[in-house]
């Protein structure tokens, strides 16, 4: 018996799933607020935060479907990221202050990069960025970091299924990554740079899939009607069945 058989919850005129291609510059909660407004104030949530500088697949649940968000949050994610190897930053992305690497070593070869990224595939320990939503003593880490407090976050286990090198021209390295829940691509960028002996921060980030939901499944905010109805949403049972099928495949 799959998720769709036993956990679909109830139905309703604004109960369902909607995948949005989040643009750069918006928070995930900005998108939630827009969709909630178009759905007449219906309860709306998302299945995994994308930073404002990141774009791509953001899965939303509306109405009673929000009760099942945990299944979508647990799904594997896929990202395309561009890593700048010329330095580190305070936030592990382009938003933070640059931290120079001195002396900056000679650019690594493509072969060296391929060998290095393979060491990050599998079950690994990863320290989330200081500027993240991880809670420390009841406070978000980014709140403490912005106040100048030294944030120490314990490493945690994550799973990286695959990393593919898709383009490299110093200092920019492009990777296609498929990973499990809780993986920080910013941390991967930082740690890959450390392993190479260079810098490393996440220059650009685009989420291309959440479980079976891909960019092809997504709608842009400007394409949405002023009033969302049931016809604009995927039925919860169908979405859960897709998750089951993706897991079995």
Q: How far apart are CA 94 and CA 24, in angstroms?
A: 13
Query: Has 244 been annotated as catalytic?
Result: no
Q: How far apart are CA 19 and CA 42, in angstroms?
A: 16
Q: How far apart are CA 165 and CA 172, in angstroms?
A: 11
Beta-carbon neighbour count of residue 182 at 10 Å? 16
DSSP symbol at 226: S
**The one catalytic residue among 21, 51, 84, 92:** 51
Phi, psi dihedrals of residue 239, rounded to the nearest 5° = -65, -40
Query: Per the structure block, which two tokens stand in for 233?
Result: 């949403």
Enumerate the β-bridge partners of residue 207: 56, 79
Q: How far apart are CA 201 and CA 72, in angstroms?
A: 27
Q: How far apart are CA 202 and CA 24, in angstroms?
A: 14
Query: Per the structure block, which two tokens stand in for 23?
Result: 């643009």
Q: Residue 209: in which H helix or E strand, if any?
A: strand 201-210
Beta strands in 48-186 (DSSP E): 55-62, 77-84, 87-89, 98-100, 122-126, 135-136, 139-140, 156-169, 172-179
Instruction: Cite the active site residues.
Output: 51
């Amino acid at each position: 018996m799959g998720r769709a058989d036993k956990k679909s919850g109830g139905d309703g005129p604004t109960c369902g799933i909607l995948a949005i291609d989040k643009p750069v510059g918006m928070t995930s909660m900005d998108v939630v607020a827009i969709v909630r407004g178009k759905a007449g104030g219906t309860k709306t949530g998302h299945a995994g935060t994308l930073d404002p500088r990141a774009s791509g697949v953001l899965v939303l649940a509306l109405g009673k479907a929000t009760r099942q968000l945990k299944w979508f949050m647990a799904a594997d994610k896929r990202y395309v990221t561009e890593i700048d190897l010329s330095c580190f930053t305070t936030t592990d992305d382009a938003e933070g202050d640059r931290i120079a690497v001195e002396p900056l070593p000679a650019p690594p070869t493509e072969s060296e990069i391929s060998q290095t990224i393979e060491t990050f595939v599998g079950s690994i320990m990863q320290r989330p960025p200081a500027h993240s939503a991880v809670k420390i003593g009841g406070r978000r880490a980014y709140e403490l970091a912005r106040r100048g407090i030294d944030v120490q976050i314990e490493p945690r286990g994550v799973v990286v299924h695959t990393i593919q090198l898709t383009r490299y021209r110093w200092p920019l390295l492009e990777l296609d990554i498929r990973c499990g829940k809780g993986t920080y691509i910013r941390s991967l960028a930082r740690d890959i740079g450390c392993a190479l002996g260079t810098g490393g921060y996440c220059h650009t980030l685009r989420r291309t899939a959440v479980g079976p939901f891909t960019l092809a499944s997504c709608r842009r905010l400007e394409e949405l009607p002023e009033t969302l109805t049931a016809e604009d949403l995927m039925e919860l049972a169908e979405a859960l069945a897709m998750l089951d099928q993706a897991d079995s495949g």
